[in-house]
Amino acid sequence: MTRQPSPVARPTAFCINDTTLRDGEQTAGVAFTDDEKRSIAAELDAAGVPEMEIGIPAMGPRELELIRSITAMRLRAHTMVWARMCESDLAAALTCGADIIHLSISASDIQIQRKLKRDRPWVLTTLRHFVQRAVAAGTRVSVGLEDASRADDAFLAQLASTAQACGAERVRYADTLGILDPFETHRRIAALRAAVDIDIEIHAHNDLGLATANTLAAFRAGATHASTTVNGLGERAGNAALEEIVMAMRHLHGVDCGVDSRALPFISELVAQASGRPVAANKSIVGDAVFTHESGIHVDGLLKDPLTYQGFDPAELGRSHRTVLGKHSGSHGVMVAYEQLGLHLSNDLARLLLERIRSHVGDTKRSPSPDDLKRFYLEQLPAGATRPF
Ligand SMILES: CC(=O)SCCNC(=O)CCNC(=O)[C@H](O)C(C)(C)COP(=O)(O)OP(=O)(O)OC[C@H]1O[C@@H](n2cnc3c(N)ncnc32)[C@H](O)[C@@H]1OP(=O)(O)O
Ligand SMILES: O=C(O)CCC(=O)C(=O)O
């Protein structure tokens, strides 16, 4: 069936297919233990992630057993396994009990000619053959259009409509090299959306720091599914981060992806530990410092009303605002810090102590501890005054 080119369909739901256990684990140097893979799957499932890509059965007997042990967990989430379009991959994929087999083929001429050493007609024939075989075997099928962002739009549409005619339920549009921007992503996904009536999964990479933006643009253009990874793990610069997509979809598009956002910090930590890839302090949503405030004007505003400097409530993540004293603090923040030590400061004293705090931070590059604050206070006391501690 051919869609009318305009208007662009606007889905009201966006199904997350988390690929931490497949593309995430493809991060160079990362290997999860079997237990780590099962724990990550269990936590993603408990958080409500509706789909997850759990591995590549063709990697051999050990990985196959691990994949089987995950499908045997009987998760609520639908499981997907990744396979090339070749006999051995399909055979392995069919034995592991996954809900969806994802059959991947290169869509760009450069990959077709130089990697596969084939041509477009071979790709179409191969796609027809393997999708029909998988569907006949009774499985749900998704088709991966690798390097779609360097492929010809008309050929992509042909691949997608062939996949659908053969019984596939979805195509994955892979920006394999992370070369798109949101405007181009929107144009391309809208063109594919207009050409075919099949679910479209956006699979964005973060080489230019645009994976989340491109995933959101794809949603606006009619994509129905999104590949994500926890902490944005994945090949090279990674994929669109699960936590960013969940929160951005909620706050920018009013779409609930069905994932409990309070579970995201724990899952982030779990994956950081298992991958050996620590999360940067300023990493959106889950970074340790993203709800920590030092600047005087911000802290003053937050103290008066959190909404003055809050885009979304950190409680959605089970987190809260934190303030620290530092070089950029103001007197209101200083007063509050001393209130917590049981001391009420006059404005003048707060300003004096602020100067002391600034020179401390300038010398040591660290926030003052409660003991430092007490010491600074004592330094300001007139001779003979009663010491509060
Ligand atoms: C963009 C992506 O992320 S795609 C997913 C990539 N993931 C991985 O590669 C991680 C896991 N990979 C592996 O364990 C191994 O690479 C395996 C098991 C898949 C394959 O291993 P090997 O058979 O030893 O082959 P190797 O990886 O060296 O080469 C890839 C082969 O697959 C072919 N191939 C690549 N993509 C496809 C495809 N979509 N369909 C069919 N064949 C393909 C290549 O042309 C090459 O075949 P050739 O030997 O005829 O030249
Ligand atoms: O599933 C596919 O075909 C694409 C796989 C992938 O990880 C990518 O292209 O980045």
Query: Domain ranges in the chain?
Result: 15-275, 292-380
Helix (H, G, I), strand (E, B) or coil at 202: strand
- 100 CA to middle of ligand 1, Å? 20
Where is pLDDT greater, at 382 or 143? 143
State the distance between the two ends of the chain, measured CA to CA, in whole angstroms: 79
The predicted pLDDT at position 289 comes to 98
Does the C-beta of 144 come closer than 6 Å to ligand 2?
Answer: yes
pLDDT in tens, 335-384: 999 999 999 999 999 999 999 999 999 999 999 999 999 999 999 998 88
The predicted pLDDT at position 8 comes to 41
- 377 CA to middle of ligand 1, Å? 66
Q: What is the mean pLDDT of residues 229-252?
A: 98
The predicted pLDDT at position 388 comes to 87
Residue 3 — pLDDT band, cuts 50, 70, 90? very low
The predicted pLDDT at position 66 comes to 98
Does the C-beta of 22 come closer than 6 Å to ligand 2?
Answer: no
Ligand 2 atom closest to Cα of 145? 3
Q: Are 93 and 58 in contact (CB under 8 A)?
A: yes
* pLDDT of 177 strictly over 60: yes
Residue 12 — pLDDT band, cuts 50, 70, 90? low
- 107 CA to middle of ligand 1, Å? 15
* pLDDT of 103 strictly over 90: yes
Q: What is the mean pLDDT of residues 40-48?
A: 98
Pocket test for ligand 2, best of 20, 26, 82 (most atoms within 8 A of CB): 82
Ligand 1 atom closest to Cα of 103? 39
Q: Which residues contact 250 (CB under 8 A, 6 or more apart)?
A: 256, 257, 261, 312, 316
Helix (H, G, I), strand (E, B) or coil at 30: coil
Q: Are 259 and 317 in contact (CB under 8 A)?
A: no
Q: Which ligand is nearest to the CA of 115?
A: 1
Ligand 2 atom closest to Cα of 227? 7
Q: Which ligand is nearest to the CA of 127?
A: 1
* pLDDT of 225 strictly over 60: yes
* pLDDT of 181 strictly over 80: yes
* ipTM exceeding 0.90, yes/no: yes
pLDDT in tens, 259-294: 999 999 999 999 999 999 999 999 999 999 999 999
Q: Which ligand is nearest to the CA of 58?
A: 1
Does the C-beta of 23 come closer than 6 Å to ligand 2?
Answer: yes
Mean pLDDT over all residues of the chain? 96
CA 78 – CA 74 distance, rounded (Å): 9
Task: Tell me the CATH number for domain 15-275.
Answer: 3.20.20.70
Which tokens go with 354? Answer: 């602020």
* pLDDT of 312 strictly over 90: yes
Q: What is the mean pLDDT of residues 26-39?
A: 98
Helix (H, G, I), strand (E, B) or coil at 77: coil
